[in-house]
Structures are given as structure tokens and as C-alpha cells.
């Protein structure tokens, strides 16, 4: 039984007029498969090579039961002819690396179409006493299974193989393979000295012992009732921390009544304070936060916003009062014409201000208008940070019903002109959890 591999076509070059040149099989593929699917077979396209060039084919198989990684490159080469050769760079049991290489100069001579030459079914192994996490992935190694190692390979390996070939734009390989598994020696030496296989350069890096890995991601959600209805808060990406850092998870909830917003971040951090706080309580605007730090792998694993909303006061729906205030909650600034609502009983003033938030992969001003209980109310009591977020609150003024605008003595208003509008600074790459929300009308 064999599986067919579909190969990505890199491109076709046209033969130069008057030049006799070879046609070679041409293609490139990488895949992670179940070992039990071996041997594999593949189909490639063809390319016309320039004069003097030869055809090459290279197959690398990294085996880490129950999975294997296969990388295949065929095409033109300047290299000298070389008989088909199978090399065992690292012998099993446990992790193993085997390659097949060949260079030839006849039409379509690089015609290997199965992994059979590299396939040596391993004899049954005697299980030892050491157990290791086992992973083989081009993505990441979150929550991998532990397996009992064969007696001969009683060390755990944890590293990354970097495979590169062909720097030409549009044609090349740049693979990053995360590897965890059983090996016969300690240390960072899966490659056993191998630096090149055919056109492919290999390099490995290992995390030093004790490096902490944390979940990484941001959440940004705007919808009604976030202070009552929990939402999912998971992160599928991971981050390796620098020395001295810990894992953190931070949630900030702002609820002005008809609208609420939840901003959250998971990742590594030097911040070491943790707290669950209600910065501003109902009646009126609610601001609450949850911050946790911890120092074991993947410990920042809260899966929903219930970690915060379960500790919030749950008053019965407040009776309406007599005050009316504009209501707004916006990433960026509130427009001049916010909806006006009747405030709950117990509130006496309208609040208008902004919380500028920066850190943990997020940068955004949050414009806030709503009802508050005291004329001097600030929402954050001049706090400067909440978990991984640096926060700055600026209050614009206090409107008393039936009175002209009077300036609040508490907080002068620094210029935040540069912060108008939404800017989201994301960690290199796509955030793992970004919920899209409707814009403030
Ligand atoms: C690999 O294939 C075998 C046999 O088909 C199956 O029992 C096993 O669960 C598979 N393992 C993985 C990791 O997919
Ligand atoms: C490492 O490479 C050497 C020679 O290059 C070889 O003799 C040895 O068997 C290899 N070790 C393993 C564990 O494959
Ligand atoms: C929010 O809660 C109120 C009352 O508790 C309910 O009437 C409303 O439908 C909810 N809105 C959403 C979008 O769930």
C-alpha cells in the first residue's frame, strides 16, 4: 500500500533556442505522515535545464514513530554526477534521519518515484523505562503525547530542524520542523554532524533546559452582555520565554450597559503581579480585570472569560433613574453624536473619557461614555498598569444635568491626538484569536 504525494510545481523554464539541454523531473514537497502509510509514491512535473546542468533528486525522511517527515526536491543542478546513495545520518530506534541523493545527466534520469529505497521497517524494540514527549510538526508542539522510549534510546530530544535550499525567489525550501522524541544521547545533536544533504542545508537549535513555553494570543471582542455571558478564551499559538519571564494572562472588561468590550492577552511577561479587580462598579460603567502569572509550561490556560465574570457582582436589573447620558464604547474615539440613554438609579453624572491601552500585543485607545455615580469618578483610580497592559485614562470633563460643562479638577487632559483611531499592533504573525466586531455606529 502506498500513498500518492501531490507535488507543488515550482515553475517551468523554456529551453534556450539552439541549446541542447536535458529535461529533468522537477518538484518539491514536504509532508508529515503516519509511519504506517509507508512506502510513499509521488508524481512530478518536468523542467528543461540549461546546457551542462544535470538532474538531481533528494529525499529526506525524519522518522519519529508514529510519525515521519518527508522532504523531496527534484530539479536541475550544477553538481557533478553522483550515484544513487542512501545515507543513515542518525540511526534508530527512536529518532532517525535517512536520505536518498542522486545526480545524473540523462533525460529524465532523476526518476525515483517511491520512498522504497529509504524504507527499512524497524525490528520490534524492547521498551525501556524513560518516557518522552513525542512530536514532529511544522506548526508547533502543544499538548503532545508522552511515549515509552525503546531501551536503546533513553534520552529525550527537544529541538528544531531548520532545512533550507534554493534562495531564488519563488523557488526554494525553508522548513522549520519541531522535533521531540527519544534519542540515544543527551544534547542537541539529532543531525549527528550532518550539515548538507544534496541541495539542502540543515541546522538544528534546541531550547536550553528550563525554558518556559506559554500560550500566546490576543482576544478583542465587542458585544453586549460580556460581563454576564462568558466567551471562549483560548490560544493555539505558543511562545518560548526569555530568561526571567513567566506566563501571563490578562483580561480587561469594560461594560457601559448596552455595550461591552473584552480585551485579553496571553504570553510571556516580566510582569509578576496578579489580581482580579473591579476598578469601577455599577450602577453605571463597570471596569474589571483579571491577571494571572504562573511559571510552568502552558500554565496560562484559562479557557473562557468566566475566570473574570464569575467574580463580578450580579445585581438585579437596575431601576431606571432620572439622568440621561450619551453612551459610547469604541476602539478609537467616541463620535460627537452618541446615543443617549436613561441611566440606572444611583448614578448622578455622565462620564466621557478614554482608556489608552498598550502591551501584550495590543495597542488601542478605548473611547468611553456612560453613567457614573460620582462627579469625580475615574474608572481606573489612576492605575498605570493592569497585568501586561499599560493603561492611561483621560477624562474629558463632567456634565451635570441641566448645568453647563464644568472641568473636572481631578484629571487634566493630556493630548492624545496621536492615539486617535484604532491601531492594533500584533505580534509577528497572525493573532490566534481575533474576534471581529461591528464598528461603533
Ligand atoms: C498511525 O496509523 C496506525 C495504523 O493505521 C494507527 O493505529 C495510529 O493511531 C496512527 N497514529 C497516528 C498518530 O495517527
Ligand atoms: C553518527 O555518525 C557517525 C559517522 O558519521 C556514525 O558512525 C554513527 O553511527 C552515527 N550515529 C548514529 C547514532 O547514527
Ligand atoms: C443581553 O441581555 C439582555 C438582558 O439580560 C437581553 O435582553 C439581550 O437580548 C442580550 N443581548 C444579547 C446580544 O445577548
Give the pLDDT confidence of 150-164 residue by residue, as tens digits.
Answer: 988 888 998 889 898
- pLDDT at 423 exceeding the cut of 70: no
CA triple 230-232-233, angle to 5 deg: 110
Q: What is the pLDDT of residue 398?
A: 47
Instruction: Give the pLDDT confidence of 389-404 residue by residue, as tens digits.
Output: 999 999 886 444 333 3
pLDDT confidence band for 65 (50 / 70 / 90): confident
Q: What is the DSSP letter of 23?
A: E
Q: How confident is the model over 178-222, as pLDDT tens digits?
A: 899 999 988 889 999 999 999 999 999 886 666 788 899 999 999
Q: Which ligand is nearest to the CA of 255?
A: 3
CB of 187 shorter than 6 A to ligand 1: no
Read off the pLDDT of residues 230-239 as tens digits, 9 standing for 90 and up: 999 988 788 8
| Ligand number nearest to the C-alpha of 438 | 3
Q: Which atom of ligand 2 is nearest to the CA of 194?
A: 5
Long-range contacts of 80-86 (CB under 8 A, 24+ apart): 80/54, 81/54, 81/105, 84/112, 84/117, 86/117, 86/118
Residue 35 alpha carbon, nearest atom of ligand 1: 1
pLDDT(171) > 60: no
* 3-state SS track over 96-115: EEEEEEEEECCCCCCCCCEC
Instruction: Dig out the grid coordinates for 211 from the structure.
Output: 525554558
Nearest CA to ligand 1 atom 7: 36
Say how many Å lie between the CA of residue 86 and the centre of ligand 2: 14
pLDDT band at 411 (very low <50, low <70, confident <90, very high): very low
Of the CA atoms within 13 Å of residue 266, those in its CB half-sphere come to: 28
pLDDT at position 11:
35
Q: Which of 7-21, 112-126, 127-141, 416-430 has the lowest mean pLDDT?
A: 416-430
226 CA to centre of ligand 3 in angstroms: 10
Residue 36 Cβ contacting ligand 1 at under 6 Å: yes
Q: How far is the CA of 224 from the centre of ligand 3 (A)?
A: 7
Ligand 1 centroid to residue 181 C-alpha, Å: 17
Centroid of ligand 2 to alpha carbon of 235 (angstroms): 40
| Residue 184 Cβ contacting ligand 2 at under 6 Å | yes
**Over the stretch 343-395, which tens digit does the pLDDT of each residue have?**
999 999 999 999 999 999 899 899 999 999 988 778 998 899 999 999 999 98
List b or e across 57-75, with b for residues whose CB sees 16 or more CB atoms inside 10 angstroms: bbbbbbbbbebbbbbbbbb
2, 32, 33, 36: residue to mutate for ligand 1 pocket, most atoms within 8 A of CB:
36
For ligand 3, atom 12, name the residue with the nearest CA.
224
Alpha-helix residue ranges (DSSP H) falling in 63-203: none
CB 232 within 8 A of CB 303: yes
Give the pLDDT of residue 381.
Answer: 87
- pTM of the complete model: 0.54
Determine which residue's CA is closest to atom 14 belonging to ligand 1: 34
Which ligand neighbours the alpha carbon of 318 most closely?
3
Instruction: Tell me how far the alpha carbon of residue 316 lies from the centroid of ligand 3, in angstroms.
Output: 14
pLDDT at 397: 60
Pocket test for ligand 1, best of 66, 137, 147 (most atoms within 8 A of CB): 66
Structure confidence at residue 168 (pLDDT)? 52
Amino acid at each position: 500500500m502506498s500513498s500518492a504525494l501531490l507535488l507543488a510545481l515550482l515553475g517551468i523554464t523554456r529551453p534556450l533556442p539552439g541549446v541542447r539541454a536535458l529535461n529533468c523531473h522537477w518538484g518539491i514537497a514536504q509532508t508529515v505522515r503516519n509511519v504506517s502509510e509507508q512506502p510513499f509514491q509521488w508524481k512530478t512535473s518536468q523542467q528543461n535545464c540549461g546546457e551542462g546542468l544535470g538532474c538531481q533528486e533528494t529525499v529526506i525522511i525524519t522518522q519519529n514513530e508514529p510519525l515521519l517527515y518527508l522532504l523531496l526536491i527534484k530539479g536541475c543542478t550544477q553538481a557533478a554526477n553522483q550515484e544513487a546513495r542512501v545515507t543513515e545520518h542518525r540511526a534508530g530506534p527512536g529518532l532517525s534521519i535517512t536520505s536518498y541523493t542522486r545526480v545524473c545527466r540523462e533525460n529524465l534520469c532523476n526518476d525515483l518515484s517511491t520512498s522504497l529505497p529509504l524504507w527499512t521497517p524497524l525490528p520490534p524494540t524492547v521498551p525501556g523505562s524513560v518516557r518522552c514527549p513525542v512530536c514532529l510538526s511544522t506548526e508547533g508542539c502543544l499538548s503532545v503525547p508522552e511515549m515509552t522510549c525503546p531501551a536503546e534510546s533513553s534520552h529525550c530530544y527537544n529541538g528544531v530542524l531548520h532545512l533550507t535550499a534554493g534562495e531564488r525567489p519563488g523557488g526554494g525550501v525553508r522548513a522549520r520542523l519541531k522535533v521531540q522524541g527519544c534519542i540515544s544521547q543527551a544534547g542537541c545533536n539529532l543531525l549527528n554532524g550532518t550539515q548538507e544533504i544534496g541541495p539542502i542545508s540543515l541546522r538544528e537549535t534546541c531550547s536550553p533546559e528550563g525554558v518556559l513555553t506559554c500560550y500566546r494570543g490576543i482576544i478583542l471582542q465587542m458585544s453586549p452582555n460580556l460581563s454576564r455571558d462568558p466567551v471562549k478564551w483560548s490560544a493555539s499559538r505558543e511562545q518560548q520565554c526569555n530568561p526571567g519571564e513567566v506566563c501571563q494572562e490578562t483580561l480587561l472588561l469594560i461594560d457601559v450597559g448596552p455595550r461591552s468590550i473584552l480585551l485579553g492577552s496571553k504570553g510571556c511577561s516580566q510582569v509578576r503581579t496578579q489580581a482580579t479587580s473591579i476598578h469601577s462598579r455599577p450602577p453605571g460603567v463597570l471596569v474589571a480585570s483579571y491577571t494571572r502569572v504562573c511559571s510552568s509550561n502552558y500554565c496560562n490556560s484559562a479557557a473562557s472569560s468566566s475566570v473574570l465574570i464569575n467574580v463580578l457582582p450580579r445585581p438585579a436589573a437596575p431601576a431606571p433613574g432620572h439622568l440621561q447620558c450619551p453612551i459610547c464604547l469604541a476602539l478609537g474615539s467616541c463620535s460627537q453624536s452618541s446615543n443617549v440613554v436613561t441611566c440606572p438609579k444611583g448614578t448622578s453624572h455622565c462620564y466621557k473619557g478614554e482608556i489608552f491601552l498598550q502591551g501584550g500585543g495590543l495597542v488601542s485607545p478605548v473611547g468611553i461614555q456612560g453613567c457614573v455615580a460620582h462627579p469625580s469618578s475615574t474608572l481606573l483610580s489612576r492605575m498605570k498598569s493592569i497585568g501586561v497592559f499599560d493603561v492611561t485614562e483621560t477624562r474629558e470633563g463632567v456634565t451635570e444635568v441641566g448645568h453647563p460643562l464644568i472641568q473636572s479638577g481631578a484629571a487634566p487632559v493630556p493630548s492624545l491626538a496621536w492615539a486617535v483611531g484604532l491601531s492594533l499592533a500584533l505580534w509577528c504573525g497572525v493573532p490566534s484569536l481575533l474576534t471581529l466586531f461591528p464598528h461603533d455606529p
